[in-house]
Amino acid sequence: MKKLATTCMPLLMTGLLMVGLAALAPRAKAMTCNVPGDHATIQAAVNAFSCDIINVAAGAFNENVIITRDIVIVGAGPSLTTVNGGGSGSVFDISAAIEVTITEMTITNGDGAFGGGVKVVDSTVLLDNVHILRNVAAQSGGGVYNYNGHVTIFNSEIIGNHAEIVNGGGIYQAYIMATLRLSNTLIAENGSPNDGGGIYNSGGQVTIYNADIQNNTARRWGGGIENMEGQLTLQASQILSNTALVRGGGLDNTGMLTFTNGVIAYNRAISPTIPNPTGRGGGINNSLPGTAVFENVTIAHNRTAVSGGGIWNESQLTLWHTAVDDNSASSGFGVGGGILNGAGAALDIHNSTISRNNIIASGGGIHNAGTLTMTNSTVSGNHANGGGGLYNLESALVQFSTFSENGAIAGAGGNMNGASGTISLTHTIITDFDGGANCLFAGNTIRSFDYNLASDATCHLNQANDQPSTDPLLGPLQNNGGPTETHALMSGSPAIDAGDNAACPATDQRGYGRPFGLTCDPGAYEYGFLIYLPAILR
């Protein structure tokens, strides 16, 4: 298993590892039994009420174990102890209001209606250092099925499990009171015929810390994770190389989602329909009534057949300190190489970079048909036939941001295309277009609210402190400090001290304080400031 760098969670880990022993407190002494030795099988030891802790020796045990009481089951290690369900029923069936701990073993070859590897109903279960491999559920939860239970999984691998009819190839969870906690765990190569190739959550609460979710497949939604109106929190995790045939190659969300300090990359939402393939949201699909917040996340190298190579949003989505980089869509009529923000949706982008995304039709970086607010952000090196950086149909407010080196076909707005609606600009730099002009607009679809700078005269900059047809003297897109790439203002740039202090945010995109000189600078980068201020000041 590939391990990620972790930080300690000593109090949480200690508390959860004791869950199996907590129920034994009324006894004067927990009784330990050995299998084999005291009992020939695990089931026999479970049935012997004198056994509180069952030590299972190295070896292969062909069993389908039904647990109806508090118990701790400890193997000799996943490479030494294997419990094989024989392709008939769940390997472990835990369907009562009890507390169970299972550690140090491999659970494999189960084939149950629900939960081929481990079935949990109304129970509190800890799985620590277990390998749940190649199990099958006729309905849901190929590896683990959790209905109204509380499941914690540490230091484990859930690989090669499948649901045959419904959802959740690796893990299935349902019911509003259900909880799932994962830490330092690999979820890989699992498959679902519908939703949630790796993990499916309907209405419950899922917390994931330091996990890899990779190479899972769903034939409909959520190749890596499907969060169906539940609460999903991810931290320090990676969602890599998953596939969904309809939407959300990496992650599909209709619930409450928060993701900090992670990566969503190399996922695909592609159905090989001939002659017109389908698929949306290569990395992420966020649909009604979902809300999603990403902070310090890299969303990169994702692909879709139609639209929203990195992200498809039709609800409410917020990005903080996030990079949306090198995502794409292959269809000739798709839109939004980096991000598609749909009709009625709200997209807030703060201190983030949208770069090197590609689409054939419109909105190489962002295609906006809803409400977009962008502050302290960079849009660079994106390409499309129309609106290389931004293609707008509804309402966009762009402030203290930098658009540079985006490209479109001649005359179609290399950096911005105001096809309809309104793009409102203030303290923004627009420069180095690829394809005829910086901007394309009709009537007042691009409006200046002053203190903007553009390298040509196509962006309708007509306010007193605007600087049209002016080279801002930017450096290349690179690491200039902070969590995302930016274009630095070079010495002598006309953007230096050319803003309004009354409007300027406390920091620039990198987290460096504004203003440095007499007044703050337009664009995402504040010239000359060398002291990093933490993101809490945002």
Average pLDDT, integer, range 396-405:
98
In the block, residue with structure tokens 């190749």: 223
- Predicted confidence (pLDDT) per residue in 464-500, tens digit: 999 999 999 999 999 999 999 999 999 999 999 999 9
Average pLDDT, integer, range 80-87:
98
State yes or no: pLDDT of 2 exceeds 50.
Answer: no
Does some domain include residue 266?
Answer: no
Q: Which two tokens stand for residue 15?
A: 């508390």
Domain count, the chain: 1
Q: What is the 3-state secondary structure (H, E, C) of 156-200?
A: CEEECCEECCCCCCCEEEECCCCEEEEECCEEECCEECCCCCCEE
Does some domain include residue 154?
Answer: yes
Q: H-helix or E-strand containing 299? A: strand 291-300
At residue 279, what are phi and psi to the nearest 5 degrees?
Answer: 140, 140
Virtual torsion, Cα 508, 512, 514, 518, nearest 10 deg:
-120
Contact between residue 81 and residue 74 where contact means Cβ atoms under 8 Å apart: no
How far apart CA 476 and CA 183 sit, in angstroms, is: 39
- Predicted confidence (pLDDT) per residue in 141-181, tens digit: 999 999 999 999 999 999 999 999 999 999 999 999 999 99
Whether residue 515 has a cis bond before it, omega within 30° of 0: yes
Q: In percent, how much of the chain has pLDDT > 70?
A: 91
Residue 389, Cβ neighbours under 10 Å: how many?
A: 37
Supply the mean pLDDT for the chain. Answer: 92
Contact between residue 331 and residue 305 where contact means Cβ atoms under 8 Å apart: yes
What pLDDT sits at residue 276? Answer: 66
Cα–Cα nearest to 439, from 408, 394, 464, 400: 408
- Predicted confidence (pLDDT) per residue in 423-457, tens digit: 999 999 999 887 779 999 878 899 999 999 999 99
What pLDDT sits at residue 28? Answer: 52
How far apart CA 535 and CA 95 sit, in angstroms, is: 45
Cα–Cα nearest to 163, from 246, 226, 232, 104: 226
Comparison of pLDDT for 411 and 536, the residue scoring more: 411
Does some domain include residue 74?
Answer: yes
Is the torsion defined by CA of 375, 380, 383, 386 positive or negative?
positive
Range of the domain at 51: 1-6+43-244
Does some domain include residue 65?
Answer: yes
In the block, residue with structure tokens 């050319």: 498
Query: For the chain, give me the number of helices (H) and strands (E)?
Result: 3, 55
Does some domain include residue 320?
Answer: no
| Ranges 54-58, 524-528, 530-534: which has the least confidence | 530-534
| DSSP helix/strand/coil, 256 | strand
Is the torsion defined by CA of 128, 184, 227, 277 positive or negative?
negative
Q: Which two tokens stand for residue 189?
A: 């190569």
Give the list of residues 6+ apart from residue 381 with CB closer than 8 angstroms, or none.
Answer: 355, 356, 404, 405, 406, 477
Beta bridge partners of 212: 186, 238
Look up the pTM and report it: 0.92
Does some domain include residue 383?
Answer: no
- Predicted confidence (pLDDT) per residue in 258-306, tens digit: 999 999 999 999 987 656 677 899 999 999 999 999 999 999 999 999 9
Give the list of residues 6+ apart from residue 472 with CB closer than 8 angstroms, or none.
Answer: 429, 431, 453, 455, 489, 493, 494, 495, 523
* Inter-CA distances, 398 with 163, 264, 441, Å: 45, 26, 15
End-to-end CA distance of the chain: 38
How far apart CA 479 and CA 522 sit, in angstroms, is: 19
- Predicted confidence (pLDDT) per residue in 215-270, tens digit: 999 999 999 999 999 999 999 999 999 999 999 999 999 999 999 999 999 999 99
Does some domain include residue 171?
Answer: yes
Give the list of residues 6+ apart from residue 10 with CB closer than 8 angstroms, or none.
Answer: none
At residue 42, what are phi and psi to the nearest 5 degrees?
Answer: -65, -40
- Predicted confidence (pLDDT) per residue in 366-386, tens digit: 999 999 999 999 999 999 999
How far apart CA 464 and CA 195 sit, in angstroms, is: 54
Amino acid occupying residue 53: I
Does some domain include residue 360?
Answer: no
Amino acid occupying residue 113: A
Residue 412 pLDDT level (bands cut at 50, 70, 90): confident
Pairing of strands 303-304, 136-140: unpaired
Q: In percent, how much of the chain has pLDDT > 90?
A: 86
Contact between residue 187 and residue 160 where contact means Cβ atoms under 8 Å apart: no
Is the torsion defined by CA of 158, 163, 169, 174 positive or negative?
negative
